[in-house]
Amino acid sequence: MKKTIITVVGKDTVGIIAKVCTYLADNGINILDISQTIVQDYFNMMMIVDTNRTAKDFGDMARELEKLGESIGVIIKCQKEEIFNQMHRI
Amino acid sequence: MINIFEVAETNEMIEKENLDVRTITLGISLLDCIDADLKLVNEKIYQKIYEAAKELVATGEYISAEYGIPVVNKRISVTPIALVGGAACKSPEDFVSIARTLDKAAHEVGVNFIGGYSALVSKGMTAADEMLIRSIPKALSVTERVCSSVNLGSTKTGINMDAVKLMGEVILQTAQATADQDSLGCAKLVVFCNAPDDNPFMAGAFHGVTEADKVINVGVSGPGVVKTALEKVRGENFETLCETIKKTAFKVTRVGQLVAKEASRMMNVPFGIVDLSLAPTPAVGDSVAEILCEMGLEYAGAPGTTAALALLNDQVKKGGVMASSYVGGLSGAFIPVSEDQGMIDAVTAGALTLEKLEAMTCVCSVGLDMIAIPGDTKATAISGIIADEMAIGMVNQKTTAVRLIPVIGKGVGETVEFGGLLGYAPIMPVNSFSCDAFIGRGGRIPAPIHSFKN
């Protein structure tokens, strides 16, 4: 399974999760895990998603999510899961 | 499964602490380009580099986007040109034509530096080696991206003092040939003792003859990450200090390993090594000197600096070795002056001298690096400094290097600006007593004894 980590960081506002999830659903991207916290008034969310069934190219998905983030006023990043596994797991 | 704190830690390192992959360097053997016809040699070299490296920059950018980690430089190293051009070149000018070809190929494939305009003369010089060395001032003044290196000694062979003498003159000539750019040519020229075959970092990268046809080597960086980690253990004892550096170095190196393996897979070129170096940049928060300060020194250069650097270098290796399947290159902490804001501050404050830097090079990679000295420094003085540094490498069985920049027309107290990753530097004073008769002797210093370690 090809897993991607999506992180969303920014000022908390209504509907951040809804908008990101709608985009993912529209593109056939399955959410495996979500965690979310508020650190010093800042919204922090991490999603682990399965990109196996989407027709979207990784680069396009990353760019579109980045744009979506700009429209909500948050920063959205997509990264392949391996970088985190490599760094934090032996 | 990965949790939100681990993800946040990684991204914080990238966004706030300047964690990056400093370079993906593609090593290319040019041994199959050797020919007696100079025109043919140049054509073959251009074709080989172009074919091997045309995807390199795109690959680096693709990996950078996929993992969200900057891959700052994409570079090429080639077989030492003294070997490749030896059969065809009849004059230093002939070698310069190869430098132009390398520069053209580097521009075409979009890499910012190409290393390997080099000669390996640790025991003696062939006619071709000497011609290449004499061509360096011209080669570096008429090209933009070519980097040059010369290996002058090794633990096994001793030091070639004839070549040391010659290089003192060549460094000054290179400074003069690029005087209109504040002697920038010298920033692309380094001399070594015990030069490694697989170094991905410039200016000293070349593709050694012991290497495969093509290979991917990666250099990681992350002084800012180490410094931030140490901020959290302020006042703790040395055990905690060392453990923190080791764990941080492990994480940083794992990123390098991942990028190296991915680049190797995408380009179908074998993975060579990860170079564990802590390589600073002039950016604030990306400095090795700041790590030393965080350990408890007022400035780099204060008493205790050599010990602090020794432990830093050792812990980086201990953490990094476990993180990568193959480690090589220079692997350690770099202490360039102009490329490290903390070093620049230390020199400006009067805390750091050339002599202290020399002591520091005994315990870390690589050597006297990116140090601006007065433009009227004598060639023999430069040779003397080189000889000292080569002796440290030879006796301690380590790589040492010298990259001095005699800035023509400038003296102590003035500053020189190189721009970009090369940074800026205050000009440092050089001991003005003479070593002319010593350098003038000629010949070789024999290899040291390998027993009676005292």
pLDDT digits (tens, 9 = 90+) for B142-187: 999 999 999 999 999 999 999 999 999 999 999 999 999 999 999 9
- In terms of domains, do B180 and B230 share one? no
Chain B residues near any Cβ of chain A (below 8 Å): 1-4, 6-11, 62, 65-69, 251, 254-255, 257-258
Number of domains making up chain B: 2
ipTM: 0.89
Enumerate the residues of chain A whose CB falls inside 8 A of the CB of residue B1: 33, 48
- In terms of domains, do B235 and B149 share one? no
CB contact under 8 A, B258 and A83: yes
- In terms of domains, do B104 and B171 share one? yes
* CATH number of the domain encompassing residue B103: 3.20.70.20
Domain-located, residue B446: no
Domain-located, residue B34: yes
Structural domains in chain A, CATH included, are 3-88 (3.30.70.260)
In chain A, whose CA is at the least distance from the CA of B4? A46
* Host domain of residue B150: 23-193
Residue with tokens 């003192």: B168
- In terms of domains, do B145 and B92 share one? yes
Per-residue DSSP letter, B320: H
pTM to 2 decimal places: 0.93
CB contact under 8 A, A37 and B11: no
- In terms of domains, do B142 and B228 share one? no
Domain-located, residue B453: no
CA distance B50 to chain A (A): 26
- B271, pLDDT greater than 70: yes
CB contact under 8 A, A79 and B68: yes
- In terms of domains, do B286 and B431 share one? yes
Q: What is the largest CA-CA distance in chain A?
A: 39
Domain-located, residue B169: yes
Q: Give 3-state DSSP helix, strand, coil % of chain A, rounded to 5.
A: 35, 40, 25
CB A82 within 8 A of CB B258: yes
CB B116 within 8 A of CB B205: yes
pLDDT, residue A39, reads: 79
Give the closest of A33, A46, A62 to B65, CB-based: A62
Q: How far is Cα B319 from Cα B419, in angstroms, rounded to an integer?
A: 32
B36-76 pLDDT tens trace:
999 999 999 999 999 999 999 999 999 999 999 999 999 99
CB contact under 8 A, A80 and B66: yes
